């Protein structure tokens, strides 16, 4: 049976039969009598200590290790900078978006299908209490806090662009990210099977719950909703779009991955572990991020926003991310294992812009293209915030999970 931990993290090199090499190493290191002391060799004679590295060497080594660990974040920064300077022509934007949304997500979930044991995936799908716990936070907690923060801060009609405020409210109503959560949970040594199960369920509910929540919040007749036309009553196009994408880019690749690993377990292990092909998932996610920002810059969404509005929006979105992940982490620690806590923290605090873009087009048909671009902008900005925050948090979360393994407290389940 394949190990649920990813192959790309150096801390995750566990054997595929479920036995952790890190545990074996820890047990060997704990046997202090098996090793000579620092100042003695095997014969008992004292030996001089090795000269310690200079402070500059230690700093450079630390920077290098951090850069290697956070290579994803560094590459993402370069891709966003590239997208700001060179964009795909507007005539090809729709084709680019379709190809990346289907192909890149399919690659990520094919790899997940190859690495997640079927039994573990089914067990996580059957945890109905977890479904309620996660989905209530993903929808009700995030949407209510987004609406509350916007309503409390949007007091000056002349200061803030109303389209941005509508975009923040809509962003809080979106389902959790799928592909991104799978990558980050693996990197932080969380429960990847739980992440795949809950993110899939959340995105199946999304077309129904998200549209209902958006209609609820914009029907309150606050001033920043005055720009919105009457919402469309039919969402058949939204449902078709979302379920088609889920089927072709999530369910089918996941099932194919499960079949392939059953038929060719040794070959899959060699390709993913020895050849490091599991990193293709991270590369596919980077393509998705580039595609999102390429579209945003091509529509001149950033150029039309005043700097003070941009600063305010970024500040609000950073605050929301911090609040969501803190609440999710605190509530999860009451009754969940460390691996599950990591997964839930990422599930609650992240959002997918893939559903927000078609929703703005379908729900608000009368909006101009410029207003639609500004409405989508908070979703695009939040994507960068959640990627940066989640990627940096993998370092302490990984250490915290490893500490729980050593202490024997990391294997509990709800």
Hunting for tokens 């990422």 — which residue is that?
Answer: 346
In the prediction, which pLDDT does 63 show? 87
In the prediction, which pLDDT does 412 show? 53
Classified as helix, coil or strand, 40 is strand
Domain range for 224 is 93-406
E strand or H helix that includes residue 72: helix 71-85
Classified as helix, coil or strand, 46 is strand
pLDDT digits over 145-199, tens only? Answer: 999 999 888 887 888 889 899 999 999 999 999 889 999 999 999 999 999 999 9
**What is the spatial distance between Cα 173 and Cα 115, in angstroms, rounded to a whole number?**
31
How many domains does the chain divide into? 1
For residue 29, is pLDDT > 70?
A: no
Residue 46's DSSP bridge partners are: 40
Sign of CA dihedral 182, 186, 189, 193: positive
Least confident residue range of 27-36, 280-289, 296-305: 27-36
**What is the spatial distance between Cα 209 and Cα 359, in angstroms, rounded to a whole number?**
12
pLDDT digits over 231-256, tens only? Answer: 655 567 677 877 888 898 889 999 99
Q: Provide the pLDDT confidence category of residue 20 given band limits of 50, 70 and 90.
A: very low
- Residue 121 sits in a domain of what CATH number? 1.20.1530.20
For residue 292, is pLDDT > 50?
A: yes
pTM over 0.85: no
**What is the spatial distance between Cα 229 and Cα 231, in angstroms, rounded to a whole number?**
6
In a domain, 380, yes or no: yes
In a domain, 321, yes or no: yes
In a domain, 82, yes or no: no
In a domain, 47, yes or no: no
In a domain, 123, yes or no: yes
In the prediction, which pLDDT does 267 show? 92
Mean pLDDT of the chain: 82
Q: Residue 349 in contact with residue 385, Cβ under 8 Å?
A: no
Structure tokens given for 102:
């289907």
In a domain, 7, yes or no: no
pLDDT > 90 fraction of the chain, expressed in percent and rounded: 43
Most confident of 93-107, 320-334, 370-384: 320-334
Q: Provide the pLDDT confidence category of residue 413 given band limits of 50, 70 and 90.
A: low
In a domain, 63, yes or no: no
Q: Where are the alpha helices (DSSP H) in 142-219?
A: 142-153, 162-173, 179-187, 192-218
């Amino acid at each position: 049976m394949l190990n649920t931990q990813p192959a790309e993290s150096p801390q995750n090199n566990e054997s595929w039969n479920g036995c952790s090499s890190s545990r074996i190493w820890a047990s060997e290191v704990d046997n202090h009598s098996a090793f000579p002391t620092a100042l003695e060799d095997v014969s008992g004679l004292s030996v001089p200590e090795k000269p310690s590295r200079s402070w500059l060497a230690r700093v450079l080594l630390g920077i290098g290790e951090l850069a290697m660990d956070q290579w994803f974040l560094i590459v993402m920064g370069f891709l966003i900078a590239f997208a700001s300077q060179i964009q795909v022509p507007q005539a090809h934007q729709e084709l680019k978006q379709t190809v990346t949304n289907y192909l890149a997500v399919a690659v990520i979930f094919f790899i997940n299908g190859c690495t997640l044991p079927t039994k573990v995936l089914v067990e996580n799908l059957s945890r109905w209490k977890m479904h309620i716990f996660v989905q209530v936070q993903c929808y009700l907690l995030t949407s209510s806090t987004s609406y509350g923060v916007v309503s409390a801060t949007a007091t000056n009609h002349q200061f803030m662009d109303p389209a941005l405020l509508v975009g923040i409210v809509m962003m809080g109503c979106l389902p959790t990210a799928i592909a991104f959560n799978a990558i980050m949970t693996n990197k932080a040594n969380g429960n990847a099977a739980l992440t795949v199960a809950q993110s899939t369920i959340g995105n199946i509910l999304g077309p129904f719950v998200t549209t209902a929540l958006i209609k609820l919040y914009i029907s309150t007749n606050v001033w920043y909703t005055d720009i919105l036309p009457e919402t469309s009553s039919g969402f058949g196009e939204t449902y078709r779009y979302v379920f088609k994408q889920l089927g072709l880019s999530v369910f089918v690749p996941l099932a194919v991955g499960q079949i392939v690993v059953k038929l060719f377990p040794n070959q899959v292990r060699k390709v993913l572990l020895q050849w490091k092909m599991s990193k293709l998932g991270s590369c596919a996610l980077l393509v998705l991020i580039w595609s999102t920002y390429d579209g945003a810059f091509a529509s001149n969404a950033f150029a039309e926003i005043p700097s003070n509005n941009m600063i305010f929006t970024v500040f609000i979105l950073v605050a929301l991310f911090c609040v969501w992940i803190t609440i999710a982490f605190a509530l999860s620690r009451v009754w969940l294992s460390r691996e599950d806590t990591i997964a839930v923290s990422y599930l609650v605090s992240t959002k997918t812009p893939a559903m927000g873009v078609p929703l703005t087009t379908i729900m608000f048909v009368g909006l101009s293209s410029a207003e639609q671009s500004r409405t989508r902008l908070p979703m695009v900005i939040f994507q960068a915030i959640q990627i940066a925050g989640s990627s940096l948090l993998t370092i302490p979360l990984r250490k915290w999970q490893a500490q729980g393994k050593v202490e024997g407290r990391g294997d509990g389940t709800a």
